[in-house]
Amino acid sequence: MEMNRTQTDVYDAIVIGARCAGSPTAMLLAQRGYRVLLLEKATFPSEVPRGHMIQASGVALLKEWGLFERVLASNCPPISRFVFDLGSLALAGMPQGATLIAPRHGVLDTILADAAVASGAELREGFLVQEMQMDGNRVIGIRGNGPDGVQVTERANIVIGADGLYSLVARAVQAPTYDVRPSLTCAYFTYYSNLPVEETAIYVRDKRVIVAFPTNDVNTCIGLQFPREELAAFRADIAGNFLHIVGLVPELAARVRNAKQTERFLGVTDIPNFFRKPSGPGWALVGDAGYHKDPYTGQGISDAFFSAKLLAEAIDAGFSRRQPLEEALAAYEQQRNAQALPSYEFNYQLATFEPPSREMQHLFAALARNQVETNNFFGAISGTIPIPEFFAPANLQRITSQHDVPVPASE
Ligand SMILES: Cc1cc2nc3c(=O)[nH]c(=O)nc-3n(C[C@H](O)[C@H](O)[C@H](O)COP(=O)(O)OP(=O)(O)OC[C@H]3O[C@@H](n4cnc5c(N)ncnc54)[C@H](O)[C@@H]3O)c2cc1C
């Protein structure tokens, strides 16, 4: 059955996907007075098998949107220390005042969707968008069905794909990709109780990365990344191989052996690296739909928040005629890329698992003796200091030339 709608039912924006990218986009547009329809095939609370450590830059946006306290209230501890352990040396610190937090997606995404609704967006859960409605090459709406199976079409001035890596919107409009890099890694993770940790730790051991961070309800997430060529061998004995790799960090492995695993092993085996052109006639992309990168240092949620903010500003500029919409959306792409490209490159480089260059070894040796600059290094990872600023040759030269200065006691 097709439901007929009249022209008055044209939304300002339809957002497909109500997680880290879609809900903030819908929320910010609704707060500006736009009529927004937010469509999500899942029903909340709903988990996704992906990491969820939010960097300081993402936490800053949660605070700006008044949502950080709600995340804290979900029994999720703030994290004020970052560890980067290369085996030969370990760096630990955090820029002053910076906080990370790692709520499960089932918690975070529900808070974000609720915030979109509280701001005035109309949310339909359990709604599967099946195709775009087109007028020539312009997207003018969607067709899909809710839980009752009834086919509906909806119209909007812009349809926003916040629908993740395999974006239907991107496929329908054949959004061009660029800066595409090979997929390098795959990831497995699980959760433990009775394994309290207070920090976010990244342990690098040869061609493996082991991460540990606290999440909701006194559970700890332990995750691994390794080269995707090793996937078949890993899958032959997931539990055994998982524990074997964790065993590369003996002190962590000992604690894992005494802890209780509270969930099954979750694997992510398709981790591509690409950018998509994020807008065209009647459509836009945000979050993973618009750009996907290796999650080595965990940037995706913060990037999704940031691009949601940029996109909502661009659409508002266009709809309110402060700027032609096409121009505003082109600026959105430029600003997204300016922020994302350095981190994309940095994570891709780390995900090659190539040993650190001599320059990086020199840097790490200098950082190990300099707490202030170590904190700045974590600022670059967690988004409080731009990566190009920290890794600028003159800055690295300044840090490494201080190699022999006495180490400050602490900040
Ligand atoms: C292994 C791994 C670990 C990671 N770890 C971290 C980390 O620690 N920290 C971090 O910041 N980032 C991490 N990331 C990245 C991060 O999880 C993502 O970048 C982020 O969650 C993307 O959010 P999104 O809203 O763009 O997309 P998604 O979370 O994919 O949401 C898309 C939504 O669209 C909906 N949808 C799709 N198609 C349709 C349709 N046709 N109709 C209706 N609804 C639809 C889906 O149901 C889904 O809810 C990790 C990624 C991976 C792969």
Per-residue pLDDT of the chain (411 residues; tens, 9 = 90+): 444 454 458 999 999 999 999 999 999 999 999 999 999 999 999 999 999 999 999 999 999 999 999 999 999 999 999 999 999 999 999 998 999 999 999 999 999 999 999 999 999 999 999 999 999 999 999 999 999 999 999 999 999 999 999 999 999 999 999 999 999 999 999 999 999 999 999 999 989 999 999 999 999 999 999 999 999 999 999 999 999 999 999 999 999 999 999 999 999 999 999 999 999 999 999 999 999 999 999 999 999 999 999 999 999 999 999 999 999 999 999 999 999 999 999 999 999 999 989 999 999 999 999 999 999 999 999 999 999 999 999 999 999 998 664 444 443
Cβ neighbours for 374, distance < 8 A, ≥ 6 positions apart: 91, 92, 93, 367, 368
Instruction: State the pTM of this model.
Output: 0.95
- Cα–Cα distance, 184 to 229 (Å, whole number): 8
pLDDT score of 411: 37
Residue indicated by tokens 């009249």: 6
Domains delineated in the chain = 2-48+104-181+273-347 (3.50.50.60), 185-268 (3.30.9.100), 358-401 (no CATH)
Side chain identity at residue 328, one-letter code: A
Structure tokens given for 53: 């450590």
Query: In this structure, which residue's CA is closest to atom 18 in ligand 1?
Result: 300
Regarding the beta carbon of 271 and ligand 1, being less than 6 Å apart is answered: yes
- Cα–Cα distance, 340 to 388 (Å, whole number): 11
pLDDT score of 9: 85
Distance (angstroms) between ligand 1 centre and the Cα of 360 equals: 31
Regarding the beta carbon of 129 and ligand 1, being less than 6 Å apart is answered: yes
**Which of 25, 37, 46, 50 gets mutated to test ligand 1 (max ligand atoms within 8 A of its CB)?**
50
3-class SS of residue 47: coil
Regarding the beta carbon of 187 and ligand 1, being less than 6 Å apart is answered: yes
pLDDT score of 403: 65
Regarding the beta carbon of 16 and ligand 1, being less than 6 Å apart is answered: yes
Distance (angstroms) between ligand 1 centre and the Cα of 359 equals: 34
Query: In this structure, which residue's CA is closest to atom 12 in ligand 1?
Result: 300
Across 195-314, the runs of DSSP E, i.e. the strands, are 200-205, 208-214, 220-227, 260-261, 266-268, 273-276, 279-280, 283-285, 291-292
pLDDT score of 142: 98
Distance (angstroms) between ligand 1 centre and the Cα of 273 equals: 14
Regarding the beta carbon of 288 and ligand 1, being less than 6 Å apart is answered: yes
Distance (angstroms) between ligand 1 centre and the Cα of 239 equals: 25
Regarding the beta carbon of 52 and ligand 1, being less than 6 Å apart is answered: yes
Query: In this structure, which residue's CA is closest to atom 23 in ligand 1?
Result: 20
Distance (angstroms) between ligand 1 centre and the Cα of 214 equals: 20
Regarding the beta carbon of 19 and ligand 1, being less than 6 Å apart is answered: yes
Query: In this structure, which residue's CA is closest to atom 3 in ligand 1?
Result: 51
Regarding the beta carbon of 184 and ligand 1, being less than 6 Å apart is answered: no
pLDDT score of 409: 42
Distance (angstroms) between ligand 1 centre and the Cα of 317 equals: 27
Distance (angstroms) between ligand 1 centre and the Cα of 290 equals: 11
pLDDT score of 402: 82
What are the φ/ψ torsions at residue 251 (nearest 5 degrees)?
-65, -35
Regarding the beta carbon of 40 and ligand 1, being less than 6 Å apart is answered: yes
Q: Which long-range contacts (CB under 8 A, 24 or more apart) does 250-256 make?
A: 252/201, 252/203, 252/210, 252/212, 252/222, 255/195, 256/192, 256/195, 256/222
Locate the ligand 1 atom nearest the alpha carbon of residue 20 and give its number. Answer: 25
Residue 220's nearest CA partner among 254, 262, 188, 253 is 262
Residue 60's nearest CA partner among 356, 301, 314 is 301
Q: Which long-range contacts (CB under 8 A, 24 or more apart) does 62-66 make?
A: 62/101, 62/305, 65/24, 65/27, 65/115
Query: In this structure, which residue's CA is closest to atom 21 in ligand 1?
Result: 301
- Cα–Cα distance, 234 to 188 (Å, whole number): 10
Locate the ligand 1 atom nearest the alpha carbon of residue 186 and give its number. Answer: 1
**DSSP β-ladder status, 260-261 and 138-145:** unpaired
Residue 141's nearest CA partner among 14, 38, 329, 284 is 14
Regarding the beta carbon of 290 and ligand 1, being less than 6 Å apart is answered: no
CA distances from 67 to 48, 73, 261, 339, 343 (A): 20, 10, 30, 23, 25
CA distances from 153 to 13, 22, 42, 150, 378 (A): 14, 20, 19, 10, 47
Distance (angstroms) between ligand 1 centre and the Cα of 304 equals: 9
